[in-house]
């Protein structure tokens, strides 16, 4: 091969990393799974990891044979995430699987070459993760947990279970765009429901404890816990405080209800994680993230815990019980 042809070939390889990887049969492929986990061995994340592994196995990817899967459990704060992402990239992964608005932006800031599949994004276009849902355009694609309009439905559901609610606390992560966006939507529709909205930040446990205690001092108060790694990291504390102050609460994440919370509305994280494994499979076989459309959930479910309702002395309307997709008794 002449020198000019060799240079051209090397240049083409540099801009087509996915195709190059796909042309090397028998290679042990490296997949990094990044978890923004505030609590060690969190049951929710362990279920996601297991679902991801099982789906990859069903698609023909076996650890130790044709796949090396590395799981990185990193505290969901900026400093730890930057350090963790650097460690991941040092291992030269073929694909990085991230969560949503907490873990995906640091990866995108660190690389525009390594394919990224996110599993629980909120508004990936507005947050700059992709150019559009149908044509992501860059090195990232994946699955949405919901769009911002869903946040308004949490307040609607709270008013259905507590019609007299006049003050609602919203637990949110104010350090990430998705947390800011969810709060903004709830605040924008609050007037139509006749309620005042109070932000409760998640910087540390003291913020949550003082915020919920102050909220509970008002009559006819309710609580909404939004979606996010930082919120999930304080899950048990939020549940304990809601129970202590007998606050009716709506959660974006069904795991809260499975662990004793009152009611949730949202999509199933496990389902989106399984779907993400399918995208990883396609990328490892040569497809590009830019060509794989971002997918939104096709089903949102209401999960209701009647035991929690009885514990706080709340009589739920029959219409809400009938609407529930799953009822825990």
Q: What is the per-residue pLDDT across 233-259, written as a single tens digit (0 to 9) for each?
A: 999 999 999 999 999 999 999 999 999
Distance between CA atoms of residues 93 and 49, nearest Å:
17
3-state secondary structure of 118: strand
The SS3 assignment for 52 reads helix
**Are the C-beta atoms of residues 179 and 173 closer than 8 Å to each other?**
yes
Burial 202-237 (b: 16+ CB within 10 A, else e): beeeebbbebbeebbeeeebbbbbbbbbbbbbbbee
Calculate the average pLDDT of the chain.
91
2-6, 9-13, 222-226 — which one is most confidently predicted on average? 222-226
Q: How far apart are CA 179 and CA 193, in angstroms?
A: 21
Residues 6+ apart with CB under 8 A from 286: 18, 19, 21, 22, 23
Alpha helices in the chain (DSSP H): 3-15, 17-22, 43-58, 78-90, 104-110, 149-161, 177-193, 205-216, 229-233, 235-244, 254-258, 269-284, 306-311, 318-323
Rounded-to-integer distance, Cα 262 and Cα 312, Å? 9
pLDDT digits (tens, 9 = 90+) for 113-144: 999 999 999 889 988 999 999 999 999 999 99
Residue 171's pLDDT is: 98
Percent of the chain with pLDDT over 90: 81
Structure token digits, residue 267: 């999509």
Phi, psi of 319 (to 5 degrees): -65, -35
pLDDT tens digits, 61-89: 999 999 999 999 999 989 999 999 999 99
- Alpha-carbon gap, residue 61 to 189, rounded angstroms: 46
* Domains of the chain in sequence order: 3-145+268-291 (3.40.50.2300), 149-267+301-328 (3.40.50.2300)
Strand-strand pairing, 263-266 and 301-305:
antiparallel
The predicted model scores a pTM of 0.83
């Amino acid at each position: 091969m002449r020198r000019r042809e060799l240079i051209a070939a090397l240049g083409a390889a540099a801009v087509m990393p996915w195709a190059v990887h796909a042309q090397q049969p028998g290679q042990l492929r490296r997949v990094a799974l990044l978890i923004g986990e505030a609590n060690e061995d969190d049951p929710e994340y362990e279920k996601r990891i297991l679902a991801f592994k099982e789906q990859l196995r069903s698609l023909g990817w076996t650890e130790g044979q044709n796949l090396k899967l590395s799981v990185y459990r990193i505290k969901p704060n900026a400093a730890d995430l930057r350090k963790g992402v650097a460690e991941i990239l040092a291992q030269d992964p073929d694909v990085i699987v991230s969560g949503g608005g907490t873990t995906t932006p640091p990866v995108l800031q660190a690389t525009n070459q390594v394919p990224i599949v996110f599993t629980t994004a909120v508004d990936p276009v507005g947050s700059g993760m992709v150019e559009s849902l149908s044509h992501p355009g860059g090195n990232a694609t994946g699955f949405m947990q919901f769009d911002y309009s869903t946040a308004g439905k949490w307040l609607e559901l709270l008013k259905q279970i507590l019609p007299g609610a006049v003050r609602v606390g919203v637990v949110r992560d104010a350090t990430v765009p998705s947390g800011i966006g969810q709060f903004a939507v709830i605040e924008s529709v609050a007037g139509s429901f006749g309620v005042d909205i109070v932000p409760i930040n998640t910087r540390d446990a003291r913020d949550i404890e003082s915020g919920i205690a102050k909220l509970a001092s008002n009559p006819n108060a309710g609580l909404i816990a939004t979606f996010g790694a930082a919120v999930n990291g304080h899950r048990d504390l939020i549940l304990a405080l809601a129970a202590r102050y007998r606050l009716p609460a709506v959660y974006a994440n069904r795991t809260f209800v499975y662990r004793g919370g009152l009611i949730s509305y949202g999509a199933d994280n496990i389902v989106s994680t399984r779907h993400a494994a399918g995208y990883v499979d396609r990328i490892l076989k040569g497809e590009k993230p830019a060509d794989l459309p971002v997918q939104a959930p096709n089903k949102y479910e209401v999960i209701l815990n009647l035991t929690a309702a009885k514990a706080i002395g709340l009589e739920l309307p029959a219409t809400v019980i009938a609407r529930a997709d799953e009822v825990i008794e």
